[in-house]
A and B are shown apart, each in its own frame.
Chain A
Amino acid sequence: MTEQVVNDFSITVGTPNGSGSSTANNTILRAIFKMGIPVSGKNLLPSNIQGLPTWYTIRVSGQGFLARREDQEIVINLNAQSFAKDLASVKSGGAFYYEDSIKQPIARTDIAIYPMPVKKIVREIPDLPANLRDLVSNMVYVGILAQMIGMDKEKIELALKFHFKGKEKPVALNMAAVHAGAQWAAANLEKKDPYFLQAMNKTDGLIMTDGNTAGALGSIYGGVQFVGWYPITPATSLAEALSEYLPKLRSDAEGKHTFAIVQAEDELAAIGMTIGAGWGGLRSMTSTSGPGLSLMTEYLGLAYFAEVPVVVWDVVRMGPSTGLPTRTAQSDLSFISHIGHGDTDSVILLPGDINECFEFGWKAFDIAERLQTPVYVVIDMDFGMNQWMTEPFRYPETPMDRGKILWEEDLEKITDFGRYKDLDGDGIPYRTVPGNRHPRSAYFTRGTGHDDHAKYSEDPNVWHANMERLKQKFQTARQYVPQPVLHGEGSPVGIIAFGSTDPAIEEGRYQMEQEAGLKTDYMRVRALPCTPEVGEFIRNHERIYIVEQNRDGQLHAWLTARNPEYATRFISIAYSDGLPPTAKWVKTAILEKEQN
């Protein structure tokens, strides 16, 4: 056997969709995490409830790289439909585990082959009732893998205790299957591949969760009061996390709720409700994905024009149209940045890790209420629905900013309240909300042309001045949105990107430096409009690669339109096929351009 490879490989499990393998796969992920080894896991699943092939890919990286890799060192197959494809995908020198009732030809001799008699092993588990065999059978491959790569069974138990919320019986049943698999492997399999785990301490103090949960929790700490939503993959679990955690975190001493959630009849209604509540003075949000956002467009245009604060989470999936509902992309940026007809501008927050999903979750409300406009928080399926290790959530470090809102006592001091008057010269007017009982509080909100007292107006000067004020307000937004994050300095070569491409870019930069001696500076943009640091970065770099996961280079287009004098410095690296990006893609694409 060749030299051991420790904590640096990928494991991919191929199963039929709906076979219950996600518990097993998450258990592997969590056990490795608890061993202190940096790890990431991604579902590569079909839009289907049961039957179609699905894969779960785990990246183990002692160095801490969490992007997907193209190479698969260990492949576990429990699905006849994808057997040949899975077998072919194993890297030379790797390992292939398969459920031995699948009888298909195996021609490869360059990899280790491990047949697994899963059914037989399950049958022989003492005291396991026959009707529970199917439920725990996936844990057999966890046990076999644990034995073969050195996964700590105590950590497996911790993962199961977490999954089953401490319930002893299912933990014991599943552990019985793990032990049975491990014992069978110890007695029957000879290790022929070099891949091993070894405990580290690199995940100490970190937590593990998904972006949708983090976004929901951040929203709760941001004081969300109204949620109007409609189910859509991959955003559904965000609203579901709100439903799960809001009652726990936001009930008063008598158990009464400081929030309301309504599952709407469609996205047209979800956004209508959300905007109604935002107008009413509530911290109001919705979560959706591309097709839902298309339906919400008209109302969002009204919210922009009537200046209603709302927070809209877009968990991006592949489009156009229904696209690939369970696959990931960064392809809604162009659409959102000018959503609605007529002239509009959108304030967009772009979390680049799971912790930022939490942080921007609460910040989004401060920004929306400060600016009185819809604020979009854009993540994607990869962040939204996959488990990620991340720093623990931090309690909001700034008090809530409720913006320019006037109550009865404020109106007493004002003789002429005008809803859309720009008193402070920042483009942001003052607002009152229903429930204010002052006789001068009310105004009539409309999507039609209006003057600074909200009265209907077709006066050309009034229209023009109002639109210019809205434009100015978008400039003001720069003071309130998150600044970019900068890595590296001094290179003439820059990279600009956002969101979930971050792990692939970080690793790609490392590889470019190691393999080709190319140093790069990297700016991760965290909001549109951009703060001044982005302009400075653009001025200070000769070539700037704008890396994103879509067809047309949407951030590239956004930056080019706003920095035409630097357009020739921008090089678009844009690609989208539904899979999370890899470092290899980043490296290859940039080196190709650099060497030309």
Chain B
Amino acid sequence: MSESLPMAGASAQVNAAGLSKNDYRGAPSTLCVGCGHNSIANQIVAVAYELNIVPENIVKFSGIGCSSKSPTYFLNRSFGFNGLHGRMPSLATGALFADVSLKGLGVSGDGDTASIGMGQFKHAMRRNLNMVYIVENNGVYGLTKGQFSATADVGLELKKQGKNLYHPIDICMEAMASRATFVARLFAGNAKQLKEVLKAAIAHRGIAVIDIISPCVTFNNQEGTYYSYTYGKEKEEPLHDVTFHFASDATQNTLTYVPQKEEIKLEADMVEGEIREVKLHDGSFITLKALEKHYDPTDRMNAIRTLEEAGDNGWLLTGILYANPEAPALPDLYRLTDSPLNRLTEKDLRPAPDTIAKLNAMMF
């Protein structure tokens, strides 16, 4: 097992898990050049490397669509399951019971989540699956060549479709309504914020929904529309500057190969009152530096109000809208054996022979 790990000290280009960036890569992307989804896949590779994650500790999931193809473009050494359209959450729910030390990393799209998958999406929130749930949201169906999705703006005009008659669904709002424990909205073009929030989402125990506005350069990139690249570039309004910090007692960080040690250094220009700290389950934490005004991501009502306001005004607010790191995740609600369920053997799984007579006696 150790043979494929690089020799200690052999190269400077390995992380604390002894892995090089190559160990986190996937197959080459087959999506369009310039697709927002590719930059997200690249950031996942970078983040996993920087977090020293052992890829075997992550399980990838996806549904159907352009977004759902992307799990093959990162973390080759992680198991993955490309399921059915809109039904990634149920697949992940069952699979993550196999070994609850595994972390789910799901990638879906706006069609896959907000149209066909709305039911399963909301139940995944309600159950607080231990999974990062990325929605690569571009308001349009790509693989079937340019139909409106449920997140498309009302009044949007597309070449073959004409005008969109219906109001959009706000994925973050749906997540909030279903009591998601971590909700963020990001813009695929903002690499730094994407990276830091992704790290926080991975460290979060429970469901972490990241709705990433990820422009479709082929079918929905008209100047001035919400999902266009230029709109994001010009109008994105970050709620805060997010910085992820490793756990000071890093033995708690179960996904990484080796314990982390990092001294927290607050930037010199941060003064008290401007910085908000949110501690995550594994001891790591994020600092949020206020920008124009203070935003408290632990205030659920405020998150909902903020989303409502942004929706009404077409504001592309980005950042961590809500985080509740203390809520129990799905496996915490079950009283499972210490050993992963999928390592149990016949001895553990088949009741002893003497039970059968007792059982028969119970049958009248």
Contact = CB atoms under 8 A, between A and B. Distances in A.
A-B complex is real = yes
Contact of B98 (A252, A412, A433, A448): A433
B94 A256 contact: no
Given A282-B94, A441-B56, A447-B84, 15 more contacts: A225-B97, A260-B341, A264-B123, A272-B89, A272-B94, A274-B94, A276-B93, A282-B342, A284-B94, A392-B363, A393-B356, A434-B79, A438-B1, A439-B77, A445-B80
B287 interface: no
Interface string B102-138: 1000000000000000011001000100000000000
Interface stretch (B43-51, B302-310, B332-340): B332-340
A98 interface: no
A433 B342 contact: yes
B149 interface: no
Interface in B80-96: 80-84, 87, 89-96
Nearest to A444: B80
B43 to A, nearest CB: 20
21 contacts: A223-B346, A257-B335, A258-B341, A260-B97, A262-B127, A270-B90, A272-B87, A272-B89, A273-B90, A275-B94, A276-B95, A278-B94, A280-B99, A392-B363, A395-B353, A400-B349, A433-B98, A442-B79, A444-B79, A446-B81, A447-B82
A438 to B, nearest CB: 5
B297 to A, nearest CB: 28
Interface in B46-73: 54-57, 59-60, 71-72
A30 to B, nearest CB: 6
Given A280-B94, A280-B99, A435-B340, A269 B89 contact: yes
Nearest to A286: B94
A448 B83 CA distance: 10
Contacts of A162: 364
Interface string A233-271: 000000000000000011010011111101011101111
A114 B221 CA distance: 84
A51 interface: no
Interface string B330-364: 00001111101111101011110101100110011
Contacts of B349: 223, 225, 250, 258, 283, 400
B161 interface: no
Nearest to B97: A260
Nearest to B88: A272
Given A250-B351, A277-B97, A444 B337 contact: no
Contacts of B93: 228, 262, 269, 272-273, 276
Nearest to A29: B364
Nearest to B2: A439
B5 interface: yes
B45 to A, nearest CB: 15
Main SS of chain B's interface residues?
mixed
Given A272-B94, A276-B93, A400-B349, A442 B120 contact: no
A249 B84 contact: no
Most buried by A among B54, B72, B99: B99
A-B residue pairs, 9 tightest by C-beta: A280-B98, A272-B90, A276-B94, A223-B349, A435-B99, A277-B94, A281-B342, A273-B94, A276-B95
B342 A435 contact: yes
Nearest to A400: B346
Contacts of A39: none
Contact of A256 (B57, B77, B337): B337
A498 interface: no
A18 interface: no
A445 B120 contact: no
Contact of B336 (A256, A266, A271, A281): A256
A223 to B, nearest CB: 3
A260 B120 contact: no
A391 B89 CA distance: 42
Interface residues of B, number: 61
Contacts of B98: 277, 279-282, 433-435
A119 interface: no
Contacts of B87: 268-269, 272, 299
Contacts of A260: 97, 334, 336, 341
A252 B344 CA distance: 11
A174 B200 CA distance: 62
B248 interface: no
B123 A265 contact: yes
Contacts of B56: 436-439, 441-442
A522 interface: no
A257 B336 CA distance: 5
Contacts of B360: 207, 392-393
Contacts of B59: 434
A440 interface: yes
A282 B341 contact: yes
Contacts of B54: 437
B42 interface: no
B342 A298 contact: no
B222 interface: no
Nearest to B82: A446
A226 to B, nearest CB: 6
A447 B97 CA distance: 22
A442 B94 contact: no
Contacts of A272: 83-84, 87, 89-91, 93-94, 120
B243 interface: no
Contact of A445 (B4, B82, B119): B82
Contacts of B119: 265-266, 268-269
A255 to B, nearest CB: 7
Interface in A20-57: 30, 33
Contacts of A400: 346, 349-350
B76 interface: yes
Given A223-B349, A280-B342, A408 B1 contact: yes
Contacts of B334: 257, 260
Interface in B201-238: none
A576 interface: no
A396 B350 contact: yes
A209 interface: yes
A383 to B, nearest CB: 15
A173 interface: no
B78 interface: yes
Contacts of A278: 94
Given A207-B364, A209-B364, A273 B344 contact: no
A399 B346 CA distance: 8
B292 to A, nearest CB: 40
A302 B341 contact: no
Contacts of A217: 359
Contacts of A269: 87, 89-90, 93, 119-120, 123
A438 B77 CA distance: 9
